[in-house]
Structure formats: structure tokens, C-alpha cells
């Protein structure tokens, strides 16, 4: 009976977790796309000092709400991956498991980038070059993660 309740609970919670994960991903990926594709394009016209002020303001704003977005994103992601724990125990047995593991590793790297940016920003050591490199790296990571999110279900070998 307990096993059946677990299956019902997992089945009912998956759509909720997926919805939370998608909204948090849209928010996070949208922010990254904005910072890389829009902000980087105005760096030269704005000038160094104005851009530093923009980066500081974005950093202050991001430190207020982005931790909650990350918490929802990763919490829901872990909840969605939980039913696949047996599959994940054998990452090279199926293309799905391999791609899901790759997605998880990229997500862990994004989390490490985010923590590094928060620590550097919180201590006043987030310089323009750090800001740019972290954003470009996270941008590349999230593009791959979004691709893998779909590829896991459509690519097979």
C-alpha cells in the first residue's frame, strides 16, 4: 500500500514540479539571455563607469530574488529526477540516462558559477571581466541544458 501511495504522489506531483521548474527556468534563462545578448551590446556606448554602475545595480537586484529562483529551479529539478534514480545509477546504459547526467552536470556547474558570482558580488570583488566571463559561460551552459532537456526524449542511440 505504501508503495502505491508513493507512485500516486509521484504521479500527481510531477506536473506541479514540471510547471515550477519551467517557470524558474524561463526566469533564469531569460535573465541570462538578457544580460548576455542585451547588456553586452550596450557596454561600449554606455562607457566603463556607467556599465560598472549597471552591473552593480543588477547584482544587487539579483541577490534579492535570484536565490529563490535557483532554489525552485533546482528543488523542482531534483524532484523531477527522483523517479529516474535507478536509470541515473547506470548513466551509460541508455541515451536518456547519459543525456540526463550531462544535463545534471551542466546544471551543477551553473550553480557553482552562480554561487561564485554571488560571493564575489557580495564581497565587492566581482569585476567587469568576472561578470562577462561568468555570464558567457552560464549562457553557453543554459543553451546546452535547454537543448538536452528536449534531446533526452528525442535522441536515441
pLDDT in tens, 73-96: 999 999 999 999 999 999 999 999
Quote the Cα angle for 44-47-50, to 5°.
Answer: 130
Checking if the pLDDT of 11 tops 60, the result is yes
Q: What is the pLDDT of residues 16-47, one digit of tens each?
A: 999 999 999 999 999 999 989 998 889 889 99
Q: Select from 64, 24, 22, 56 the least CA-distant residue to 39.
A: 56
**Rounded average pLDDT over 126-150:** 93
Residue 56 confidence (pLDDT): 82
pLDDT tens figures, 148-157: 999 999 999 9
pLDDT, position 127: 84
Instruction: Spell out the residues 6+ positions from residue 94 whose beta carbon is closer than 8 angstroms to its own.
Output: 87
- Any idea where the domains of the chain sit in the sequence? 2-154
pLDDT at 124: 84
Q: What is the pLDDT of residues 88-128, one digit of tens each?
A: 999 999 999 999 999 999 999 999 998 998 888 888 888 88
Amino acid at each position: 500500500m505504501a508503495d502505491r501511495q508513493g507512485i500516486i504522489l509521484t504521479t500527481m506531483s510531477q506536473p506541479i514540479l514540471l510547471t515550477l521548474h519551467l517557470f524558474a527556468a524561463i526566469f533564469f534563462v531569460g535573465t541570462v539571455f538578457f544580460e548576455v545578448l542585451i547588456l553586452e551590446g550596450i557596454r561600449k556606448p554606455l562607457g566603463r563607469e556607467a556599465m560598472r554602475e549597471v552591473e552593480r545595480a543588477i547584482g544587487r537586484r539579483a541577490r534579492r530574488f535570484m536565490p529563490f529562483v535557483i532554489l525552485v529551479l533546482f528543488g523542482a529539478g531534483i524532484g523531477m529526477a527522483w523517479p529516474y534514480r535507478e536509470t541515473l545509477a547506470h548513466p551509460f546504459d541508455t541515451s536518456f540516462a547519459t543525456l540526463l547526467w550531462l544535463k545534471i552536470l551542466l546544471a551543477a556547474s551553473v550553480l557553482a558559477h552562480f554561487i561564485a558570482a554571488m560571493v564575489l558580488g557580495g564581497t565587492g570583488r566581482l569585476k567587469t571581466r568576472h561578470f562577462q566571463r561568468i555570464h558567457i559561460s552560464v549562457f553557453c551552459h543554459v543553451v546546452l541544458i535547454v537543448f538536452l532537456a528536449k534531446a533526452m526524449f528525442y535522441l536515441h542511440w
